[in-house]
């Protein structure tokens, strides 16, 4: 059974276990999927309302993008577990094995791939949620804020799964390239997530 098909209770129990997967990457993807789902909820509560007729087509487009992104993020939950498996196995190779370094290096790069994808998807999610927050129903504005908080946190969490692996890479050029992209995503979208949250909070408090 895929991780994503388990109940919430079973998934979180597995997270809490000593099993190597699911871990932080899969948890990040799930959190982001929940975040963008909340954005989509804002759209669902906006379309069909006369008050928002002038932005209805934009909202429908955002909803379509959000639904596709949610499916992609859910796919990353199992993809992250699959990408981490070679690294988990590589750690068990004896240190005196002449092939260990090459196997480890390859596994580290694979293990970084999905967390990087999760970070990129979180950025896309925040771009979409910003639009939902600005144009969607005021009655659902808190949901947009919740979604932004979750996606920001998911990006930050996914970044840790990138950095812990780049730290061990011997190919420092590859590590630096991955870290530079992760840094840029964090710089842009941490600020955006905080901005969305602040704007929503101000509107709710009046």
Please give the angle made by the CA atoms of 115, 117 and 121, to the nearest 5 degrees.
Answer: 115
The CATH number assigned to the domain holding 190 equals 1.20.120.680
184 within some domain: yes
**pLDDT lower than 50: segments of the chain:** none
59 within some domain: yes
DSSP 111-128: HHHHHHHHHHHHHHHHHH
10 within some domain: no
Report the b/e string of 177-201 with b at 16+ CB within 10 A: ebbeebeebbeebbebbebbbebbe
Count of domains in the chain? 1
18 within some domain: no
162 within some domain: yes
pLDDT at residue 95, as a whole number: 87
- DSSP for residue 21: S
3 within some domain: no
Write the pLDDT tens digit of every residue in 182-194: 999 999 999 999 9
5 within some domain: no
11 within some domain: no
pLDDT at residue 126, as a whole number: 98
Cα torsion angle, 79, 83, 86, 88, sign? negative
pLDDT at residue 1, as a whole number: 81
What's the rounded Cα separation, in Å, for the pair 44 and 60?
Answer: 9
Residue 74: domain span: 23-205
């Amino acid at each position: 059974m895929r991780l994503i098909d388990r109940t919430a209770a079973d998934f979180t129990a597995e997270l809490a276990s000593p099993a190597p997967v699911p871990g932080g990457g899969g948890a990040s993807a799930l959190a982001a999927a929940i975040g963008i789902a909340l954005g989509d909820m804002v759209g669902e509560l906006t379309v069909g309302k006369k008050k928002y007729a002038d932005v209805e087509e934009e909202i429908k487009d955002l909803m379509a993008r959000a639904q596709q992104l949610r499916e992609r993020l859910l796919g990353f939950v199992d993809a992250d577990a699959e990408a981490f498996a070679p690294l988990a196995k590589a750690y068990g190779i004896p240190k005196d094995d002449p092939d260990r370094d090459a196997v480890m290096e390859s596994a580290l790069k694979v293990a970084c791939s999905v967390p990087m994808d999760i970070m990129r998807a979180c950025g896309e999610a925040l771009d979409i949620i910003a639009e939902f927050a600005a144009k969607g129903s005021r009655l659902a504005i808190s949901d947009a804020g919740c979604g932004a908080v979750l996606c920001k946190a998911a990006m930050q969490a996914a970044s840790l799964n990138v950095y812990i692996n780049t730290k061990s890479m011997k190919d420092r050029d590859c590590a630096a390239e991955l870290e530079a992209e992760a840094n840029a995503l964090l710089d842009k979208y941490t600020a955006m997530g905080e901005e969305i949250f602040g704007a929503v909070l101000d509107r709710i408090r009046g």
